Structure 1
Amino acid sequence: MSRVNDVGGQTGFGAVEVERDEPSFHADWEARVYALNVALVRRGVYTLDEFRDTIERMPPQEYLAASYYERWLHAIERLTSDD
């Protein structure tokens, strides 16, 4: 079963454009989400595999509407919630 993020071999997505001179983060909150994820993985709260799997399990509409770091925040929220 493929997930929404698995676009390998599919057509219609266009060429991959290489962004030159692009900043690592477009906003301060993105850098904070990155740092938070690094800290949580290092502390053993979750693994990178769990993190990636959580992103890949996002509902397709949410996944496609979210930016790169919004997906990261989604995963962090799910992996650290008490639910």
Structure 2
Amino acid sequence: MNSIHDVGGMHGMGPVAIDPDESVFKADWERQVFSTIGLYFAGGLCPIDEFRHAIEVMDPAEYLSTSYYVHWYHAMETLAINNGLLTKAEIDAKVRELQGAQ
């Protein structure tokens, strides 16, 4: 595949800035997404190829404008819907509930 998601192997993109003191997770929700995807794998809910594909179907503009764990969240939500764990309506209802709690 040759898409926006494959820029990692391209030349001329400049060096990757690495901060050795940067934390793995910038927020608690990132840790929760990481853990949930781990449960998906451990529970056999998706092979790694499905996980990668769920990220690759993101809109390129959204992919480029969002962080690493937003990509994982998108995959988690897509896989939950595709595998019948949750519906889009259930996810949307929960988001509205959580937004109302703030």
- Spell out the pairing of 1:55-70 with structure 2 (5 A cutoff): 55-70=55-70
Unaligned runs of 5+ in 1: none
Q: Which residue of 2 aligns with 1:54?
A: 54
Extract unaligned runs of 5+ from structure 2: 88-102
Q: State how far apart, in whole Å, the 1-side matches of 2:22 and 2:69 are.
A: 15
Residue pair 1:63, 1:71 contacting (<8 A) in 2 also: yes
Equivalent residue of 2:6, what SS? coil
1:76 & 1:24 partners in 2: Cα distance?
19
Contact 1:3–1:57 at 8 Å: present in 2 too?
no
Relative contact order: is structure 1 or structure 2 higher (C-alpha 8 Å, sep ≥ 6)? 1
Structure 1 position 9 matched with structure 2 position 18: no
In 2, Cα distance between the equivalents of 1:43 and 1:14? 39
How far the C-alpha of 1:33 sits from its partner, in A, is 0.3
TM-score (normalizing by structure 2): 0.73
| Structure-1 separation of matches of 2:10 and 2:33 | 31
**TM superposition shift of 1:19:** 1.7
Aligned partners of 1:22, 1:9: CA distance in 2, in Å?
A: 25
- Report how many aligned residue pairs link the two structures: 82
* Deviation for aligned residue 1:25: 0.4
TM-fit CA distance, 1:76: 0.6
AA aligned to 1:9 is M
Alpha-carbon deviation of 1:3?
1.2
Residues 52-61 or 29-38, more deviating: 52-61
Sequence identity percentage: 41
Return the index of the structure with the highest Cα Rg. Answer: 2
Aligned to 2:98: none
TM-score (norm: length of structure 1) = 0.88
Q: CA deviation at 1:14?
A: 2.1
Shift of 1:28: 0.3
